[in-house]
Chain A
Amino acid sequence: MKVGAERIGAILATLVGAGYFYEAVAMPDVSIGDPLGPRLFPMLLGLFMTLLGGSLALKPAEGEESSFGLSPRSWGLVLLLGLYGYAIPMGGYPLCTFLFLAVGSRLLGERSWLRCLGISAIMSALIFLLFTKVLDIPLPVGFLAFSGG
């Protein structure tokens, strides 16, 4: 339900504000000729956030209806993206990008495996070469480094 989602968002904002405020209060109070110190500004931010989040949770802002919920496809993409990011340092950019493009396009509706693998292989190689060779931006190659990739 729409209001439900809005409330959850507002409650999260409240919690973030409160947690942040708590962390700010717990900070050591050091000031070197500086009346404000490192704590006060964050404390104010945390306080405002908590109050605002609370007010939004109690009385959601008027606005257009927004119906949503991440579809399985988008969750899949998020998960895939997380895995991709996690794997890049080990697996290297070219290999991981190849796998990411292949699985990603499949996830978003590409039906032919042949096209999936073919286009992914070409595009991952192209992107990798464009950045590393043409634009001189180093990217991790992972264990492919041993095979001269």
Chain B
Amino acid sequence: MEGDTLAHLLYGLQIALSPVNLFYAFLGCLVGTLIGVLPGIGPAGGMALLIPLTYGKEPASAIILLAGIYYGAMYGGSTTSILLNVPGEAASVVTTLDGYQMARKGLAGPALSIAAIGSFIAGTIGVLLLMLLGPPLARAALKFGPAETFALMVFGLSMVTSLAGKSLRRGLVSTLLGLMMATVGTDLPTGIIRFTFGIPKLMEGFDVVVVAIGLFAVSEILSCAEEMGKEGFKAAPLGRIWLSARDFIQSLGAIMRGTVLGFFIGVLPGAAHVTASFLSYTVEKRLSRNPERFGKGEIRGVAAPESANNSAACGALIPLLTLGLPASAVTAVLYGALLMVGVRPSPFLFQKHPDVAWGLIGSMYVGNIMLLILNLPLVGLWVKILRTPARWLFPMVLAVSFVGVYSVNNAPLDLLLATILGVLGYFMRKLDYPLAPVILGLVLGDLLEQALRQTLMISGGSLLPLVKSPICLVLFALAGVVMVAPRFIYKKGVKLEIES
């Protein structure tokens, strides 16, 4: 068993270390860090708009590139949080609390260092866990029939719906919208054309990448254009870069706790990085003998959430790689990208496309080292880029995102679609309708419907298989619990102790 994993890992490293893939990992990390650094472009939108970079590449190279962007963004988000008090992405919001305070005390360097080192340790342990847990889980999932698959997807969607927003009903509207979008186009089993309103282009349905760019990237820019200031951002001075041994030893416990917590939260559909970073911060504050130091430049308040969001990024890959179930907006985009290069994520991924699965794992080890080396020397560069005035940055991001949209199908209509979805996303943000469930509904809708239809086809129309299988029952029960529990807990007044 273990020898097996080792052989696979060596195979994965061999793929990851080929010069071409090494270059893609590097490119991904670099671009990802840039996306993480730039406020206004989150990892999901950023990945979607860079999908054209993967065209014509080997599937393994494509996913190595995209995964690099993904965890690069997780690293990069901390930079702006610490230096500017501006979180580059949502998972870095808590990092601003102590990170920026450290920077104001002239400790920006140590804060950045501990964020990078914590991310490195967490990322590396996260991949290790992914490697050890992934294949057995995938083997277990192979036994799933259509009924279990259906139940699993119901569970996944419930998690995302419940955790994505503040209101359950608004979350459900978002999920339903995504599921409805998924039904647009030709119904494969019967060949019936559904909900195309006479637009031939829609016969193939909505493209995940086009929707992701419109809904995430375009709407993000529209929101930011609303709030933007006149000039670029002003950074706190960097100070000394190196971390003292004492700082490191002080933070090690926080890093390890953040890593483990983050990973397992990341595995859960819907929770992922944001919850992971918030929760690990809260845990550190609770455990600390001097909780009053938190929020005033406590190094553990930077180490824990930054570690947690990186290991959560690894954890979030587990449902995708083992069950073929994207469980967050980012992994939904990865799912769409894999489909475009001809790989359908499923429990068979480790068997059918070992180059993709193991190449990805191998490249994540490599990527983590790359990011550690890249991160600190490039801080100066990122700060310079952030001085780009928003009035130039935003139109340029939109222009690049249109390249992404256009290159999916070379279809002019997609450009208009992305614009419309951008406006829709903007209003949804403003009205507090979460966006992640839309993209997940879109990705899972078809699978969900087919699983249900197959179940009923096998049973001759009876819904019994859905309640006869113990796995189904457990999953449905869990789905019910996750829908109800958060509201109950909130009502009891147990909230994350984050002062804004």
Encode contact with B along A75-117: 1 for CB under 8 Å, 0 otherwise: 0011001101110110001000100110011001110000000
Give the contacts of A52-67 with B (CB-CB under 8 A): 52-53, 55-56, 61-64, 66
Interface of A (DSSP majority class): helix
Asked if A131 and B167 make an inter-chain contact with CB atoms under 8 angstroms apart, the answer reads no
CA distance A6 to B403 in the complex (A): 34
- Interface secondary structure of B, over-half rule: helix
A49 and B176 form a contact (CB under 8 A): yes
The CA-CA distance from A73 to B432 in the complex, in Å, is: 22
Collect the chain A residues with CB atoms within 8 Å of residue B412's CB: 85-86, 88-89
Residues of B within 8 A of A81 (CB): 218, 398, 419, 422
Q: Which of B50-58, B125-133, B335-343 contacts A (4 or more CB under 8 A)?
A: B50-58
Contact A135 B422 (CB under 8 A): no
Minimum Cβ distance to chain B for residue A134 (Å): 10
Closest to A10 in B: B173
B384-414 CB mask vs A (1 if < 8 Å, else 0) is 0000011110111011101100110010100
* Contact partner, A127, options B399, B426, B453, Cβ 8 Å: B399
A68 at the interface (CB under 8 A from B): yes
Note all chain B residues with C-beta closer than 8 A to A119. 392
Using CB atoms, name the residue of chain B closest to A90.
Answer: B412
Chain A interface residue count, CB cutoff 8 Å, equals 69
A49 touches B180 (CB 8 A): yes
Q: Beyond the given A45-B179, A52-B169, A110-B391, could you list 11 further A-B residue pairs with CB under 8 A, ordered by the A residue number? A: A13-B173, A13-B177, A27-B194, A63-B166, A84-B402, A84-B415, A85-B419, A86-B412, A123-B392, A137-B55, A140-B406
A23 to B196, CA, bound (A): 10
Nearest chain A CB to B199 CB, angstrom units: 13
Residue contact A139 to B403, C-beta cutoff 8 Å: yes
Could you say which residues of chain B place their CB within 8 Å of the CB of A20?
180, 195
Q: Which residues of A contact B173 (CB under 8 A)?
A: 13, 49, 52-53, 56
Asked if B423 and A78 sit within 8 Å, CB to CB, the answer is: yes
CA distance A38 to B184 in the complex (A): 11
